[in-house]
Amino acid sequence: MPLAHPVRSAALLVAGAVLVAGCGTGGGPAASAETKETAAGYPVRLDDCGQRVQIERAPSRAVALDQGSAEILLSLGLADRMVGTATWTDPVLKGLEKANAKVPRLADRYPSFEKVLDAEPDFVSASFLYTLGKGGVAPRERFARLGVPTYLSPTDCVGKDNSGDGDGIRTRPLTMDTVYGEIRDLARVFDVPERGEKLVGELRARVDEAKAGADFGDASVLYWFSDSQGPYMAGCCGAPGIVSGTLGVKNVFDDTKEEWPQINWETVADRDPDVLVIADLTRKAQSAESAAKKIEFLESHPVTRNMTAVRKKRYVILSGQAMNPTIRTVEGIEKVAAALRTYGLAK
């Protein structure tokens, strides 16, 4: 397929990344553990999800291909170095509206590879392996052949097996430390490490405040992301696992390590959680994306309407991003903790 701009023009603007080796994804250390820099700060070398990436200078034309990655870059004050974002499920994080408005949105979902190259990026980041794989925007190797460095969030590969057909299986529980590692990696790539440490410190303080002074140990929760026909519920060990683990509550589907297993409503009703944590999505990819549609379904369906949480209207509404392993996961911790207090489930 012909490109909107010749490949040569994109290659001339790149930051000089070199993809040294591709060893697959999953199970590797967070990229920050392998970052090495010269005294001048560059090149930055990352062992990122099994692939070695070298970045010669601070990017000035970055594209973030997933909302989570975009919000980290925006939170680091890098809007002036961004030329595109894509794949959004929610409105941008509160406080980032003005910065986000300065950055072109290439697509609400996945842009074509040609659309991304049209922005002439010198750095591309993503939150999910699928985005930089077949079926997403393009495999990382296609960017590497043009000299464009790519960064994949370690939250989607560290302690995770993505070899199956679903959303992956967690081989060990995810923690906020991996999210903090992503923030530090991106801050170092853009030569703003002090901004990264400041953001990590702010997020840590919010987590400490959310969980302080309360015992939620007897409460059970369920996390519903999308789809009413074959609902995607959270397994034990992804971002919802961070929320549950931080607050000491029980996820009623903590017996599965699948990231987002599809579970039938009879099984959901049988687990009968105290609280339902519901994603409020603005996309329209599946049935019952918005929280309002989800609640309408729950309160009318003969299998779900008699569940404890439904009868007592114990709902926690979260952005989709708060259920993904991003800086928004902290928002999830805060809102679930506040709701548990409101519903009298804190000791």
Residue 28 has pLDDT above 90, yes or no: no
pLDDT tens, residue by residue, 47-98: 999 999 999 999 999 999 999 999 999 999 999 999 999 999 899 999 999 9
Residues 140 and 217 in one domain: no
Residues 288 and 224 in one domain: yes
Q: Which of 151, 172, 193 corresponds to the end of one domain?
A: 172
The predicted model scores a pTM of 0.87
Residue 35 has pLDDT above 90, yes or no: no
How far apart (Å, rounded) are the C-alpha atoms in residues 145 and 34?
23
For residue 166, the domain's CATH number is: 3.40.50.1980
Measured over the CA atoms of residue 241, residue 244, residue 247 and residue 250, the dihedral's sign is negative
Q: Tell whether 7 is covered by a domain.
A: no
Residues 163 and 221 in one domain: no
Helix axis angle, 329-342 to 193-211, nearest 10°: 20
Residues 51 and 166 in one domain: yes
Average pLDDT (269-278) is 97
Q: Tell whether 220 is covered by a domain.
A: yes
Q: Which of 172, 201, 232 corresponds to the end of one domain?
A: 172
In this prediction, residue 14 carries a pLDDT of: 40
Average pLDDT (100-106) is 98
- Burial (CB count <10 Å: 0-12, 13-18, 19+), residue 270: exposed
Residues 226 and 283 in one domain: yes
In this prediction, residue 40 carries a pLDDT of: 65
Q: Tell whether 122 is covered by a domain.
A: yes
Domain extent at residue 75: 44-172
Residues 76 and 158 in one domain: yes
Confidence band, pLDDT 50/70/90 cuts, at residue 296: very high
Q: Tell whether 50 is covered by a domain.
A: yes
For the chain, the average pLDDT equals 89
Residues 152 and 263 in one domain: no
Confidence band, pLDDT 50/70/90 cuts, at residue 286: confident
In this prediction, residue 255 carries a pLDDT of: 96
pLDDT tens, residue by residue, 200-248: 999 999 999 999 988 998 899 999 999 999 999 999 999 999 999 999 9
- Specify the number of domains making up the chain: 2
How far apart (Å, rounded) are the C-alpha atoms in residues 210 and 331?
9
Q: Which of 172, 194, 223 corresponds to the end of one domain?
A: 172
- CA 26-27-33 angle, to 5 degrees, is 110
Residues 234 and 329 in one domain: yes
In this prediction, residue 218 carries a pLDDT of: 83
